[in-house]
Chains A and B, each alone.
Chain A
């Protein structure tokens, strides 16, 4: 059974917590997700295998980018109870601060949702939400390519 069909069949088409657990790559990162009201919040506990710079140490920029992208997709799925996984068309990432060896949190806002394309902004922080460590904006395809 297709993943999203199964999610709908389970009775909650917006169950992003269950959905994330089904994605092997998210499990590899150790990424978790919580719902805070209607907001999806991703939680990335620090782990050695995420490190990109051992001197600082800091989380790899690629892992940072991946978490921003997944956070945006989960918020979209939560907002839309989508029948299909939103496909990333493009994502533009700003690295704002070094992502240190501690837990990272992520939030995303769907700024516009059209019939075929959605624009989403996402942000990661560690100590305080007003000190983001990375930010991204991306376009996601909702319709078949």
Chain B
């Protein structure tokens, strides 16, 4: 199996690259990514605070990265987000990076359950948390129109 490494995979996702998502670590069922606040991600021009949507995208992406079982080759099957629930605990400090850490705490034959947290100083002081479920082994080629 010649699966590509997670950093390479991340940089090949156009939207992740456009957001500036960086891989910090990926081991087993846990993954951590980082995003730097940038001018194009601002949601509130009055304060410079990053838009919640960018945090949503970050949590979705980092959660998806741990959902896939290690033995499942990327080229054979995709995973699909079934649902994603996000709680926003507070505005991010525009001067600091945002980290997102995800952990897949249960996988069944068809479904992966993932929790993630977005934070700046410490995961114990989150700016957002999420719970997501993913369908494993979905179609990964264009369907019929």
Measured between beta carbons, the chain A residues less than 8 angstroms from B46 are 2-3
User: Which residues of B, 65-88, contact A by the 8 Å Cβ criterion?
Assistant: 78, 80-88
One digit per residue, 1 when the CB lies within 8 angstroms of any chain A CB and 0 when it does not, for chain B 42-69 equals: 1111100011111011111100100000
Decide: A65 and B41 in contact? CB cutoff 8 A: no
Decide: B84 and A66 in contact? CB cutoff 8 A: no
Decide: A61 and B64 in contact? CB cutoff 8 A: yes
Q: Please, how many angstroms separate the alpha-carbon atoms of A87 and B15 in the complex? A: 24
Measured between beta carbons, the chain A residues less than 8 angstroms from B86 are 65, 88, 90-93
Q: Please, how many angstroms separate the alpha-carbon atoms of A54 and B50 in the complex? A: 26
Q: Top 6 nearest A-B pairs by Cβ distance?
A: A62-B57, A66-B53, A25-B51, A60-B15, A49-B18, A65-B56
Given contacts A49-B14, A69-B53, contact A61 B42 (CB under 8 A): no
B95 at the interface (CB under 8 A from A): no
Given contacts A60-B57, A62-B57, A91-B85, contact A25 B15 (CB under 8 A): no
Q: Please, how many angstroms separate the alpha-carbon atoms of A28 and B53 in the complex? A: 11
Q: Please, how many angstroms separate the alpha-carbon atoms of A99 and B17 in the complex? A: 19
Decide: B83 and A60 in contact? CB cutoff 8 A: no
Main secondary structure on chain A at its contact with chain B? Answer: mixed
Decide: A25 and B140 in contact? CB cutoff 8 A: no
Q: Please, how many angstroms separate the alpha-carbon atoms of A25 and B52 in the complex? A: 9
Contact surface of B with A, Cβ cutoff 8 Å: 12-19, 39-46, 50-54, 56-61, 64, 78, 80-88, 90, 140-143
In the assembled complex, how far is the CB of residue B133 from the closest CB belonging to chain A, in whole angstroms? 10
A70 closest partner in B (C-beta): B53
Q: Please, how many angstroms separate the alpha-carbon atoms of A49 and B54 in the complex? A: 13
Measured between beta carbons, the chain A residues less than 8 angstroms from B61 are 52, 60-62
Measured between beta carbons, the chain B residues less than 8 angstroms from A23 are 42-45, 51
A51 at the interface (CB under 8 A from B): yes
Decide: A92 and B83 in contact? CB cutoff 8 A: yes
A63 at the interface (CB under 8 A from B): yes
Q: Please, how many angstroms separate the alpha-carbon atoms of A74 and B54 in the complex? A: 17
Measured between beta carbons, the chain A residues less than 8 angstroms from B59 are 62
